Structure 1
């Protein structure tokens, strides 16, 4: 029973992080407080290995690390698995956002997977706006279904 509870916590936090990411992206990163750090991410051809936007990685990593610590200091408890859910989402976010979409690393250069192509398409729509206003598609793993349909159709036509 304990395994299932911890597994459910981890998966629940992972799914919840998509909502947290969407809200953070829309209202903080594209808002008055976070645009300073996020703006360089919307500039085409940004020439540096790191962006100011990468500071958000640290912001999300700190609670995860603290939860790992407090979740093990007196024996394994639920906090560890909350931290694990955040870590797993961060890993998925990095892989999708930095590797697949922005190709900061050339690990998955070409994919024919309709789901991954749909994510790329939605993120490209998000980046067509260079300013903080008029943004759309703030999610990372769950985006409007129309992008998946378009990606699936373009894959079938090939």
Structure 2
């Protein structure tokens, strides 16, 4: 039973992070912190790094705080929460930075139904170079219309 609860907290956190990514992307990155995110839509420098990369730091810190609370304060549910945030961050990096944007030349030949849909939705998101009139702010869950051939 304890394993079931632990896994439920982990998976719940992982899936909640998709909502948090959507919310943060729509209302913060395309909102008051657009100055950090705009170079992701329109690269205005020669560096491999983007100002947009700073956003991962916030969720990394939340995850680290959870690990600390689990390890030093013995708050059991902080471990599955911290690992859920970490797992989502790793998934985000693999899907968004490596698969979609090809910051590392891996997964280039992935061409299944899901991969095509996620790429299409993200391409439509990047069609808008400005702060407003965007769409498709999520990463793993995108509208079904992008999965149609």
Shorter-chain TM-score tier: over 0.9
Inter-partner Cα distance in structure 2 for 1:65 and 1:56: 15
Which residue of 2 is the match for residue 28 of structure 1? Answer: 28
Inter-partner Cα distance in structure 1 for 2:29 and 2:81: 24
Does structure 1 residue 63 correspond to structure 2 residue 45?
no
How does the TM-score come out when normalised to structure 2?
0.95
Say if 1:44 and 1:113 are closer, same or farther in 2 by CA, change over 3 A.
farther
Where structure 1 has 5 or more consecutive residues not aligned to the other structure, the ranges are: 154-158
Inter-partner Cα distance in structure 2 for 1:112 and 1:128: 21
Task: Map Cα deviations across residues 112-146 of structure 1 (whole Å, 9 max, x no partner).
Answer: 21101110110000000000010000000000001
Inter-partner Cα distance in structure 2 for 1:71 and 1:113: 39
Q: How many residues align?
A: 149
Task: Map Cα deviations across residues 77-133 of structure 1 (whole Å, 9 max, x no partner).
Answer: 001111111000001100000001100011111212110111011000000000001
Cα RMSD (Å): 1.4
Inter-partner Cα distance in structure 2 for 1:83 and 1:96: 20
Question: Counterpart of 2:122 in 1: which secondary structure?
Answer: helix
Say if 1:37 and 1:96 are closer, same or farther in 2 by CA, change over 3 A.
same
Inter-partner Cα distance in structure 1 for 2:120 and 2:15: 21
Inter-partner Cα distance in structure 2 for 1:97 and 1:56: 13
